[in-house]
Amino acid sequence: MKYKFLFGAALFSMLLIGCADSKKEVSVNQETEQVQPDFEYVVDQFADLKILRYQIPGFENLTLKEQKLVYYITQAGLEGRDIMWSMNYRHNLAIRSALENIYSNYGGDKASEDWKNFETYLKRVWFSNGIHHHYSNDKIKPDFSKAYFETLLADTNTTLEGEALEVIFNDKDSKKVNLSKDADIVLESAINFYGPDVTTAEVEAFYSKIKTDPKEPIEIGLNTQLVKENGKLVEKVYKSGGMYGAAIDRIIYWLELAKGVAESENQAKALGLLVEYYKTGSLDTWDDYAVAWVNSTEGNIDWINGFIEVYNDPKGYKGSYETIVQIKDFDMSKKMAVLSEEAQWFEDNSPLMPEHKKKEVKGVSYKTVIVAGEAGDASPSTPIGVNLPNNNWIRQAHGSKSVSLGNIINSYNNAGGSGRLKEFANDEEEIRFEEAYGQLADKLHTALHEVVGHASGQINEGVGTPKETLKSYKSTIEEGRADLFGLYYLMDPKLQELGLVENWEETGKAAYDGYIRNGLVTQLVRLNLGDDVEEAHMRNRQWVSAWAFEKGQADNVIEKITRDGKTYYNINDYAKLRDIFGQLLRETQRITSEGDYEAAKNLVEDYGVKVDQVLHAEVLERNAQFKSAAYSGFVNPVIVPTMDENNEITSFSVEQPASFEEQMLYYSKEYSNLMK
């Protein structure tokens, strides 16, 4: 499960920079390894997107064997890059190929507005791994005409025709993922997990017939595409020799090299099972791998690799291809491990109903890591925290791993600005709290969300999985539940007792201010005027904030203020707000534990979907003064091997790409395994 956007930043998946004299917070947050003081974090900005760089502090301190392990797993991840493009939409690879051929070979007027708009469109498509916006799921509309595009095709001898050409300019397949309660969410979603003629009812009927062990259920449908052949539904399995086999074979090649330089027997066992899974497509093997992986905790290197998160599937079955390669940040991991050690205390003292609490929270490990490379659904737009595995029985029986991506967060910190904070915060005290404690509050909320949030609670015996019971509301309910767990404890003196903060109350106030500000106001800049909220994380932030606002109206817990034609929300009673968060946490856990679909639907639809259009127009107008983009993503550092005369690796260097375009074209040249 991903934790993708930092609430204390209040905007755009990036953090605001704390004030320079915030010494206590800096000392807690600071990475142990030195980074380059003059490092240029911002690479490019276009449309609503900003491209950043990140460093890999500590890579040079690894042994050569460890560096090889990082390199091999990073290469394995990149070899599967095309899989995510294909998953996002059936025509994405053909469209990308045509766009890149035009970009590389066009010799005409590159000063014209049409050409500039073409370049922007291509970069937006690169960023989103396809023609649909990475966050809103809307199809990206080009700011050039079809006639102009056809001249580019002709001038560069590029072929793109039929539906793949027409869809760029028409209204077909307008949503990558359509979660509207009035839609056939499978048929009307462009995501390529299902054939274009497959309906929601057919998917539900197909998977309802598949029986699995109720005590140790596999994640049915996780690594398949469901299509119709001769009128009959069949699954096409992602594996060597199967769907995406050409890319998977290259993934296997690098993973087998990685196994040869594993740091331990447990690590080698996990890598071997991952290879076997890619060879066979067996979900039983995937579970065996997940158990081995979660129990492989020694060593300096770790990874995430596979078909994992199901957010892109409107029905919540299909996993998106994703890889993240990680190096331990020892100092921060030591500081944050205390949350793992105290996980049972958090569970026992939570406001959950007694029957919904876990009697034993197993093996929740939390580490801050240094990202060495990302691919698939994690790149260019990346999470900041991850908790895996997702299979609930494995989490309960064997535990889970939670990581915070420290150097990614550091890049957000160094690339942000404070203008929007001053525009949308209600008063100077709110600004002071955010500047002094916002970064720490963000980091702690990520940790609490992942470690005690996703790991908490249990489903009643005989109740199906949330995917089965809560259906399309599963993801947003789960993310909201984890958010609420973190929010509840961010205003607890226990954090100061554990040495994680030096002023629990003001850190908690910064956290609550940032969450409400984002959930009710500032995240609206991500939407076009008139749009509903559809992305799972945005929905959960809105329904949590809106429910809390409504629940506290009698006591004026959160006050809506209009001043000089501008809207603000001010928290008048933080203690009562914490109690309200606790009530909502209790209810969302009940919904999850009992599989209460109607309650989930009502909570999300009543509070998380619709937008106050007057407020939305105001927010967009206020935001127009800022030039910083709404979303951020990353280019990856390039790990370059040095070879001797025997073609053996003797060392590595880490280089930064000069531009976003350079990296995207290089990736297409080197890793287009599904285009050959």
Q: Are residues 131 and 57 in the same domain?
A: no
Query: What distance in Å separates the CA atoms of residue 491 and residue 576, rounded to the nearest whole number?
Result: 11
| pTM above threshold 0.85 | no
Ranges of residues in the chain whose predicted pLDDT is under 70: 2-37, 335, 363, 416-418, 676
Residue 445 lies in a domain: yes
Q: Are residues 444 and 306 in the same domain?
A: yes
Q: Are residues 55 and 151 in the same domain?
A: no
Residue 561 lies in a domain: yes
Query: What distance in Å separates the CA atoms of residue 400 and residue 548, rounded to the nearest whole number?
Result: 30
Q: Are residues 18 and 128 in the same domain?
A: no
Are the beta carbons of 514 and 426 closer than 8 angstroms? Answer: no
Task: Say what the pLDDT of residue 391 is.
Answer: 94
* Residue reference for tokens 């807690």: 28
Domain end position, chosen among 180, 215, 243: 180
Q: Are residues 579 and 628 in the same domain?
A: yes
Query: Pairing between strand 566-571 and 558-563?
Result: antiparallel
Give the E-state strand segments of 605-660 in sequence order: 631-634, 638-643, 649-655
Residue 131 lies in a domain: yes
**Alpha-carbon torsion, ordered 124, 128, 134, 139, to 10 deg:** 60
Are the beta carbons of 491 and 516 closer than 8 angstroms? Answer: no
Domain range enclosing 138: 81-180
3-state secondary structure of 385: strand
Q: How many domains does the chain have?
A: 2
Query: Under 8 Å CB-to-CB from 527, ≥6 apart: which residues?
Result: 136, 533, 611, 616
Task: Say what the pLDDT of residue 4 is.
Answer: 52
Query: What distance in Å separates the CA atoms of residue 386 and residue 381, rounded to the nearest whole number?
Result: 14
Query: Quick one: CA dihedral 106, 112, 116, 118, positive or negative?
Result: negative
Residue 160: name the closest of 98, 118, 105, 104 by CA: 98
Query: What distance in Å separates the CA atoms of residue 178 and residue 626, rounded to the nearest whole number?
Result: 30
Query: What distance in Å separates the CA atoms of residue 194 and residue 173, rounded to the nearest whole number?
Result: 13
Residue 650 lies in a domain: no
Q: Are residues 54 and 122 in the same domain?
A: no
Residue 482 lies in a domain: yes
Task: Say what the pLDDT of residue 627 is.
Answer: 79
Q: Are residues 124 and 24 in the same domain?
A: no
Residue 278 lies in a domain: no
Q: Are residues 315 and 435 in the same domain?
A: yes
Q: Are residues 58 and 92 in the same domain?
A: no
Give the E-state strand segments of 89-179 in sequence order: none
Query: What distance in Å separates the CA atoms of residue 616 and residue 630, rounded to the nearest whole number?
Result: 15
Tens digit of pLDDT for each residue in 111-123?
999 999 999 999 9
Q: Are residues 474 and 579 in the same domain?
A: yes
Are the beta carbons of 398 and 364 closer than 8 angstroms? Answer: no
Domain end position, chosen among 180, 199, 234: 180
Task: Say what the pLDDT of residue 36 is.
Answer: 61
Domain end position, chosen among 137, 153, 180: 180
Q: Are residues 436 and 408 in the same domain?
A: yes
3-state secondary structure of 649: strand
Give the E-state strand segments of 610-648 in sequence order: 631-634, 638-643
Are the beta carbons of 340 and 365 closer than 8 angstroms? Answer: yes
Q: Are residues 57 and 88 in the same domain?
A: no
Residue 136 lies in a domain: yes
Task: Say what the pLDDT of residue 482 is.
Answer: 96
